[in-house]
Every structure is written in C-alpha cells, then in structure tokens.
C-alpha cells in the first residue's frame, strides 16, 4: 500500500493516487512491485528491499550515498493486542522522505493527523517527527508494562499473604503469571531493539549529512536523550521481570516441596499399621494372640495408635 503526503500550511495532507507525484513523503506499507517502481521513478532513490532492511550489521542499517540517507531499524507493532517485532526503513533527502514498512503501524497511519503544525515543513521535519512519535509510543508501552508488572508483583506477594487458595487454583494462577511474564519479557525485548535502532539512527543522521537543518538536529538530539532514559527504564523493567520470574518459580518449588512433604508424612503414617496388619495376618497355628478375646480390638487400637503417634511427633517438632 502506498500513501503519499504533501505539506500545506504546516500540515501533512494525504494526496490522491493521481496526485502522488507531488508528494514529499511516500509511506510504503507492504508495497507492491509497481509501487516500488513508482516511488523510485519519482524520487530517483534506490530503495532497499525487505531482505536489506532486516540485516543486523550497523553498516547495513546506516548508510549515506550522494547525500541520501538510507536507514533501517526494528519497530514494534501491535497485533491482536500483543506487541510484535517489525522492521522499518527510511530513505531521506532534503526533498523527499520514503518510509518502508512490512506491518501495519498506527503511528505512521495517524501521523498526518497527530503531528503539530510546527513539526511539518519538509522531509527532515517529518523524519524527526516520526522518530519522536516512535519514542513516545515506546514510552507509553513501557509505562503499560510497568503497570502490569506492578499488578503481578502485588499478585505474587501481597495477594498471597494469608491467602487460602486451593492448591489446584494456586497452580493455575502461578502458570498464568509465568505466561504473562514471558509475554512481557518478549515485549521489553522488542522495545529494546527498537530503542537501539533509534539510538543509532538519530546521531548518525546528525553527523552524516550537512544539509540537516539545525532545528531538526536539535530535535534529534532531544530524541537521543529520551531514548537514553528509556533504555535505563527498560533495564529496570527487565530486572523486575527476572525477579518476579525467580519469585514465581520459588513459589512453585515451595508448593512442590509441600506436596512431597505431605506424601512423605502419609507414607510414614501408613508403615506401622501395615506392619501390624502384616504380622497378625500371617497364617501360622502358633500365634499367641489368636485366642485372645479382644485380639481384634487390640490390633485395631495398635494400628491406630501407631499411625497417630508419628503425626503427633511431627506436629510437636513443628515439621507440619
């Protein structure tokens, strides 16, 4: 899909397909070959393909040729309410900006309606505005993750204090917490990759070309500072995820140990009665207790006492 935008009175205006040749920003989302060819013809850019954008080497993601910047970075998209990793490419000149994406992005789709007027006066201003928008979205996502991790922390620790949740329900609850932590860790990982991409692009764009306007350079420097603070916050969230993961696994181990302890106590309680029943169940003629009038009651009493005595002993020692 090709979307073409022009600048009018400080605002981005989306152009009709027949007017696309007059655009300054071409946004290619999962582009078709004819759309590639059209943008290449209008801008005279050599546009990268998807295979070029997913390269991880710094030299492959950042390049300048004939004063034209070619940049790529990971981005985060949201599909079915879940954050997923994607890739985005920028080809920038003083006259044109081309963005290439291979997944839908609400930021790019709504940028022409959310960008303030003083941010849209040329291709470089659009580029800076997009990076600012990406960083803002990353900050919003990290804030939501922090709220979710705070809720999980409360659920893991405070909610469980004095909670008499049945073992089966507690097991399901802990499994759900582990799944949520895994999803949150993936989301943080995707966001860290995107932050690293912005942290590379912003200083490179400032230093690589001379035609970058000073106001845009200042905005890109501000983006650098914002990304630096987000990186620190992401590290904090990663540590918190690891802490909650270790704590949840610790609770699972405690639950398993408690179950093993119960089974051990039950088995110990059953050994003496089994021994007594085995002795008096032997088929020998010479058994002194065979002629006892109350032998049956005596055997029952001995088995009950031998089963209860270990339980009392364990309780007295504080083992149960």
Contact 68, 141 (CB under 8 A): no
Count CB-CB contacts under 10 A for residue 108.
Answer: 20
pLDDT at site 159 = 56
Cα 56 off chain centre by: 20
pTM over 0.95: no
pLDDT at site 98 = 92
Nearest to 125 by CA among 217, 203, 208: 217
Residue ranges in the chain modelled with pLDDT below 50: 161
HEC secondary structure over the chain? CEEEEEEECCEEEECCHHHHHHCCEEEEECCCHHHHHHHHHHHCCCCCCHHHHCCCCHHHHEEEECCEEEEEEEEEEEECCEEEEEEEEEEECCCCEEEEECCCCHHHHHHHHHCCHHHCCCHHHHHHHHHHHHHHHHHHHHHHHHHHHHHHHHHHHHCCCCCCCCHHHHHHHHHHHHHHHHHHHHHHHHHHHHHHHHHHHHHHHHHHCCCCCHHHHHHHHHHHHHHHHHHHHHHHHHHHHHHHHHHHHHHHHHHHHHHHHHHHHHHHHHHHHHHHHHHHCCCCCCCHHHHCCCHHHHHHHHHHHHHHHHHHHHHHHCCC
pLDDT at site 233 = 92
Report d(CA 279, CA 261) in Å as an integer.
Answer: 28
pLDDT at site 223 = 92
Q: For residue 148, what are its two tokens?
A: 């979710």
pLDDT one-digit tens code per residue, 77-107 = 776 666 778 888 999 998 999 999 888 887 8
Q: For residue 220, what are its two tokens?
A: 């890109």
pLDDT at site 115 = 56
Domain 2-255 sits in which CATH superfamily? CorA soluble domain-like (3.30.460.20)
């Amino acid at each position: 899909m090709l979307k073409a935008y022009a600048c009018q009175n400080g605002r981005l205006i989306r152009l009709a397909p027949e007017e696309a040749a007059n655009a300054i920003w071409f946004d290619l989302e999962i582009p078709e070959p004819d759309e590639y060819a059209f943008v290449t013809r209008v801008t005279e850019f050599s546009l990268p393909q998807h295979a070029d954008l997913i390269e991880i080497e710094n030299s492959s993601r950042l390049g300048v040729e004939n004063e034209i910047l070619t940049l790529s970075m990971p981005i985060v998209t949201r599909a079915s309410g879940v954050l997923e990793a994607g890739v985005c490419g920028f080809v920038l000149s003083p006259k044109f900006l081309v963005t290439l994406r291979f997944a839908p992005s609400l930021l790019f789709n709504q940028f022409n309606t959310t960008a303030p007027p003083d941010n849209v006066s040329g291709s470089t201003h659009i580029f800076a505005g997009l990076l600012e928008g990406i960083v803002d979205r990353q900050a919003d996502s990290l804030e939501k993750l922090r709220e979710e991790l705070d809720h999980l922390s409360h659920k893991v620790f405070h909610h469980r204090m004095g909670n008499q949740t049945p073992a089966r329900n507690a097991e399901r609850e802990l499994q759900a917490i582990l799944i949520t932590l895994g999803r949150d860790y993936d989301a943080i990982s995707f966001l860290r990759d995107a932050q690293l991409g912005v942290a590379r692009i912003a200083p490179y764009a400032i230093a690589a070309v001379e035609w970058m306007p000073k106001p845009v350079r200042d905005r890109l420097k501000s983006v650098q500072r914002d990304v630096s603070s987000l990186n620190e916050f992401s590290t904090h969230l990663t540590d918190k995820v690891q802490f909650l993961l270790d704590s949840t696994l610790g609770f699972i181990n405690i639950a398993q140990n408690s179950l093993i302890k119960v089974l051990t106590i039950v088995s110990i309680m059953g050994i003496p009665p089994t021994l007594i029943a085995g002795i008096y169940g032997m088929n020998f003629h010479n058994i002194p207790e065979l002629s006892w009038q109350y032998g049956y009651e005596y055997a029952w009493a001995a088995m009950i006492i031998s089963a209860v005595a270990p339980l009392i002993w364990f309780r007295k020692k504080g083992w149960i």
